[in-house]
Structure 1
Amino acid sequence: MGETITLEASDGHRLGAYLAQPEGMSKAGIVVIQEIFGVNSHIRSVCDRLAAEGYLAIAPAIFDRQQPGFESGYSEAEVATARKFLGSLDWDAFLRDTRAAAELVKDRGLPIGIVGFCLGGSIAYLAATRLDLFSAAVAFYGGRIADFADEAPSCPTLMHFGEKDGSIPMADVEAIRKKRPDCTIHVYPAGHGFNCDERASYDAESAALAWRRTLDWFDRTLAG
């Protein structure tokens, strides 16, 4: 359903992106931000599922600045390799690459949403606070959102967390709730990465409910 394209960020950096489009007219566009595993089969699947719901979906390869074309699976060795990117997080660069994807949607005259997973969840939240482009945002288990929770999103923002997530303490989730009563937060009886059916932590029931809530959120805020 999708294709690989090239985007250009404001600083001239060129990066890959996966673009999935619906068969008919797009009702809105959604920027999809990857986990640390790159724009892999899971992220492409998310884009394809959004396209099937009538949304143009685009996932920028935000690690292209460090390693062009990087993607991986979820074996122990692959996870260890992917985690190396966490040692040098350039949030401003992530936002430039996110903006490049959003500008493609904007140029097509569509309202823009953003959804991110894991690291991408934190970037989606930060983009909702610092980029005046989005009409809605959704963050799945963003581990650094607590660090940025003093910054207010400029659009309706939904967050999903797992109560069994070993990398995001529930104390962080409660801190976010306290600082951001303007956001909607759901907690599920699941662990980190529960939305990804390629991971051992996949929780089908929680994933289905979070996905339905995500689609309802975008339908209401972008396509309503």
Structure 2
Amino acid sequence: MGGYLAKPKSGSGPGVLVIQEIFGVNKVMRDICDSWAAQGYVALSPDIFWRQEEGVDITDQSQDEWNQAFALYKGFDQAKGIDDLKVSLAFLRATAGCTGKVGVTGYCLGGFLTYMMMCHSDAEAGAAYYGVGIDGKLDDAKGLQNPTILHIAEKDGFVPPDTQKKIRDGLKDNPHVTVHGYANDDHAFCRVGGQHYNEASCKLANGRTLDLFKKALA
């Protein structure tokens, strides 16, 4: 399994596992890793589609790419993917320069997998962006023991209002989970260059994630 690794200029810092969208470890994911590295973190985005096709690197700019992305999404083995992410988490902890503490963040499919990693791994903190499918795995939250943020786009076409309510209601009694809603935003409001990108909302969400990781990974 490959991936993209970015390190801070200092050479050391806490780790951030960046889980891809359905477009592979593309420029958006690499730029996110570079941004974390610029803020003092060792960032790794693993190639979770490697079991189907290695090195997927596509965009959201054409219908053909969307078709390819959805085909990969449908063919993704969730259980094996989570196993791969646990291996990636261990690899990042052991990477030269990583302090050993690691936060997990991800987008869309990666947002869902971030939630699942917080339920089924020992990652110190998590921040999931517009995860799709969390409503079907609310029982897994019994294993969620470390601080986790869910960034929910309230106009998300893939996560309608009733689903959002189910997520909020299902997690409201878990003291480790904080849900932030973004009232005017659609899915992928943090995908730079995407149709629904909102710079202000993304900056707000990223600031909340950074604040969490500063505290949890110190």
Same fold (TM over 0.5): yes
Distance in 2 of aligned mates of 1:50 and 1:144: 26
Distance in 2 of aligned mates of 1:23 and 1:58: 15
SS in 2 for 1:125: helix
- Find the counterpart in structure 1 of residue 140 from structure 2: 151
Distance in 2 of aligned mates of 1:151 and 1:96: 16
- Find the counterpart in structure 2 of residue 55 from structure 1: 41
Q: Which amino acid aligns with 1:138?
A: A
CA contact (8 A) 2:20 2:109 kept: yes
- Find the counterpart in structure 2 of residue 106 from structure 1: 93
Identity across matched positions, percent: 36
CA contact (8 A) 2:52 2:75 kept: no
**Residues 168-189 of structure 1: CA distance to partner in whole angstroms, max 9, x if unpaired?**
1122122111111221011112
User: In structure 1, which of residues 194, 198, 212 is the aligned counterpart of residue 207 of structure 2?
Assistant: 212
- Find the counterpart in structure 2 of residue 93 from structure 1: 80
**What pairs up with 1:1-224 in 2 under 5 angstroms?**
15-75=1-61, 76-108=63-95, 109-131=99-121, 133-152=122-141, 153-181=144-172, 182=174, 183-188=177-182, 189-223=184-218
4+ runs deviating over 6 angstroms: none
Structure holding more helix per residue: 2
Which is further off, 102-111 or 186-195? 102-111
SS in 1 for 2:44: strand
**In angstroms, what is the RMSD of aligned CA positions?**
1.2
Q: Which amino acid aligns with 2:198?
A: D
**TM-score, with normalisation over the residues of structure 2?**
0.92
CA contact (8 A) 2:49 2:76 kept: no
Gaps in structure 1 of 5+ consecutive residues: 1-14
Gaps in structure 2 of 5+ consecutive residues: none
**TM-score, with normalisation over the residues of structure 1?**
0.89
